[in-house]
């Protein structure tokens, strides 16, 4: 299936507009060129992936924080990155956040709802797309999730 990933991200931004407004989060997509960016993916599942990642970035990010979703094309792939400038994830938790029901510091996350399934679903869906997701995080600086999808043209 052929999916315009730039369009998917715009739709996710619209869906999350309300919650982003309440937190005054700045949501921005960065692309090299305007127009559709076609990838080989399942539309609904990739929408779910983008929703879970961007929702986390807003939910765990700071008030007045910034969330950037960037798309970079190379010959065969589109590299997708979701970056926030929030509190970051402590290194000792980083390897476990993709596990089902895993949440960092219950005290910190519990007032923000959620079940701890979002990232497990993300990983599962990307597995089915033969895509690996990586995370880089620095305390007080923020968190970036990255993965690649196959290009279509
Ligand atoms: P759900 O997604 O099911 O509503 P959740 O957001 O708690 O619940 P995940 O999306 O799997 O579950 O995330 C797991 C944990 O990783 C979160 O509870 C949070 O502590 C941490 N986390 C995820 N994304 C970020 C982020 N961008 N910045 C800081 N912490 C994060
Ligand atoms: Mg989540």
ipTM for the predicted complex: 0.99
- With beta carbons less than 8 A apart as the criterion, state whether 80 and 61 touch: no
Stretch 1-10: mean pLDDT:
97
* Mean pLDDT of all residues belonging to the chain: 95
- CA 71 – CA 78 distance, rounded (Å): 6
Task: Render pLDDT for 85-144 as a digit per residue (tens, 0 to 9).
Answer: 999 999 999 999 999 999 997 656 556 778 999 999 999 999 999 999 999 999 999 999
Q: Tell how far the Cα of 66 is from the centroid of ligand 1, in angstroms.
A: 17
By the CB criterion, residues less than 5 angstroms from ion ligand 2 are 56, 118
Task: Render pLDDT for 18-33 as a digit per residue (tens, 0 to 9).
Answer: 999 999 999 999 999 9
Helix axes 43-60, 5-15, angle to 10 degrees: 50
């Amino acid at each position: 299936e052929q999916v315009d990933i730039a369009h998917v991200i715009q739709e996710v931004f619209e869906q999350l507009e309300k919650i982003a407004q309440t937190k005054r989060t700045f949501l921005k997509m960065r692309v090299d060129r305007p127009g559709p960016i076609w990838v080989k993916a399942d539309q609904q599942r990739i929408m779910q992936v983008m929703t879970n990642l961007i929702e986390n970035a807003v939910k765990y990010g700071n008030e007045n924080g910034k969330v950037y979703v960037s798309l970079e094309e190379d010959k065969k792939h589109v590299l997708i990155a979701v970056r926030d400038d929030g509190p970051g994830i402590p290194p000792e938790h980083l390897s476990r956040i993709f596990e089902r029901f895993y949440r960092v510091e219950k005290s910190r996350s519990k007032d923000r709802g959620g079940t701890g399934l979002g990232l497990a679903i993300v990983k599962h869906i990307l597995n089915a797309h033969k895509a690996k997701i990586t995370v880089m995080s620095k305390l007080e600086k923020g968190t970036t999730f990255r993965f690649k999808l196959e290009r279509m043209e």
